[in-house]
Structure 1
């Protein structure tokens, strides 16, 4: 066994500093175009002009093309490819983009900004979000993969009808979130991860998911990718959301042998006045956490690095089988807690207007995600280990992993948070535990007060 006490995310090939620099460049580039990039991975566009229509079919065209001498040229080409697929009578509404590669570099912001420019300047269509992923081991050196999701209104391919949902809204916003499952696909290729991940992301702004478009590509047989598509469609049926047309492609030039990326775009609609923004958060408000017993979809590069250095399990350790089982657990869904299920009302309607902020704990851990929803001048004070650490995290701690490095990369047992006034905190905790804690089979989603808001 090697010493893992000084190993962090960067040692595993993932630089959060580089990621933050890339995101900052992309945000600045989009802001320079007059686009709001605060949501980063997702955003919204006003569709008030569609109110009153008998039918409002919304679909997604996905395009992926990496031909070009520069990232700017590639971004223009892939965006144009998406718009070229728009048929007569179909109206493009918004763009989202996704790009991934073995390391973070200038290619990512240049590519993403080129997509936004092409969409806005040539087609008057805004980019409302995007995501980039650093995935060492998945891609061949110097290679990347990327796609554009073009949201449209019209009867083209598979669509979801929003007419009834937006009929009584004052200002309906079409919202979308795009992301991928990262290097978790090197362990398990489960589309539940990206569907739950994207749905939680939308839920974090108060939006109930209504449809999902899958992107799956890799250096495997086409049949293996089609199996993922079939699983995705079944999951969507179970969740009651529409499975839109998927994008499926074998890409042997970009991916290492046997490697796959599973990504996608989730969409929903909300009346602007009901969107959760965090602007009403005040000092002394309370942060409630919902538990997770797994890594969900983040930190897998660091987890594999730890396991490689720890080596063979010792007596009393998790066995190889147990480790594989822990790392294969799917992303935890929290949208039923927010929006309800067949048995219980969701907290967003039961406590309407009182859920001030939320956070889906993904890349960057608790600190990076919770602070996104806290107004300037306030701080989130979060206590550690109020909710149990996942078994795999306890395994790493036992073998000497640095807690700060793990808090930077892992969710550390907290999958989702909400912020409420102190006068309802205990009631909300009890309601969630009574109605949702064990409502997902095999998962303990305990709710607990884990911190509070203070002045900076």
Structure 2
């Protein structure tokens, strides 16, 4: 009997997909928390949140990707770090509204599933979930031959958290005199990599395994530093203090992201000399002859999350963060402004 063309002949291997699920089941299970119902393999992930501690619980959702940092991972052939990035980009966003992240889902699309690469990515995702205290509730792996080139893939993440309605952080309570605190980034995080590749890989012709004296590591090692997950630092603060605003510094840098939480008529003034800018940003700027304003609207410049608090609790919040072995910088304040002035000003000063 004639066999005929199979789905595998077209580039989609169902058996390999099933093997992939079997490989990652135990890793996913390691992230499961109270509230998770069932395991991997269902048509949907089930989670039963405990609403008892909330008067009016509100679910907060966020989705994001890793951008062209994926290109660096593929060049270095190291794929676990971007799994951490994927989780970080999503949970940091919902944290910025005061939400406690509950669970995470991932989506991976590729031309042809490579089991070792896929397993490495999931290993990174589970590490990120553990750092954030969330359950990896499910995901989807799509083989799309003819759409993605061999060896390439794309990732997307989805996170859901919970916050009591009265505790949602929108920035609406921010007023003149409030203070800005900056939590340091671990490096570039997951934004601006198209510019990074344009300057360092294309213009300068550098390779990911080149050792860069100014960075004291290879280029690939620097560019693959994982995005920092701020949940362990910030959640305890939200339980003790009134944090009026939180900005996750991603694409658009401080000017765009801080502006999202500043009410009309107010201005955030940020002193760029109040923290040390990591060498990687100085290196990129010098190699690309990039204007400072362009750097600051593309990269985080060393500050990955900004908190807005009233001046009377400033020292307590800073002491609390430092007592847990974390760094924090007092980077500026909120002022009143006229209607024609910008919401965020970054300046050099004492």
1:347 to 237, 243, 249: 237
Identify the range of structure 1 (167-176 vs 267-276) with the bigger mean alpha-carbon deviation.
Answer: 167-176
- RMSD over aligned Cα atoms: 2.7
**What SS is found at the alignment partner of 2:296?**
helix
Measure the CA separation in 2 of the matches of 1:199 and 1:421. 25
Q: Structure 1, unaligned stretches of length 5 or more?
A: 1-54, 60-154, 340-345, 438-445
Measure the CA separation in 2 of the matches of 1:252 and 1:319. 39
Contact 1:222 1:249 in 2 (8 A): no
**Structure 1 pair 216/316, CA: closer, same or farther in 2 (3 Å)?**
closer
- Hey, what does 1:448 align to over in structure 2? 329
Measure the CA separation in 1 of the matches of 2:226 and 2:273. 22
- Hey, what does 1:427 align to over in structure 2? 316
2:160 to 259, 267, 270: 267
Note the C-alpha offset of 1:259: 2.1
1:72-111 equivalences under 5 Å are none
Contact 1:196 1:331 in 2 (8 A): yes
| TM-score (norm: length of structure 2) | 0.76
Identify the range of structure 1 (412-421 vs 170-179) with the bigger mean alpha-carbon deviation.
Answer: 170-179
**Structure 1 pair 427/167, CA: closer, same or farther in 2 (3 Å)?**
closer
Measure the CA separation in 1 of the matches of 2:229 and 2:304. 9
**Structure 1 pair 280/234, CA: closer, same or farther in 2 (3 Å)?**
closer
1:250 to 134, 143, 153: 143
**What SS is found at the alignment partner of 1:289?**
strand
1:192-211 equivalences under 5 Å are 192-211=84-103
Note the C-alpha offset of 1:243: 1.0
Q: Structure 2, unaligned stretches of length 5 or more?
A: 1-33, 74-78, 338-350
1:318-329 equivalences under 5 Å are 318=214, 321-329=217-225
Higher relative contact order (CA 8 A, sep 6+): 2
Measure the CA separation in 2 of the matches of 1:363 and 1:378. 22
| TM-score (norm: length of structure 1) | 0.59
- Hey, what does 2:110 align to over in structure 1? 218
Alignment coverage as a number of residue pairs: 290
* 2:45 is the alignment partner of 1:158: yes
Measure the CA separation in 2 of the matches of 1:200 and 1:207. 9
Note the C-alpha offset of 1:234: 4.7
Note the C-alpha offset of 1:309: 1.3
1:411-422 equivalences under 5 Å are 411-422=300-311
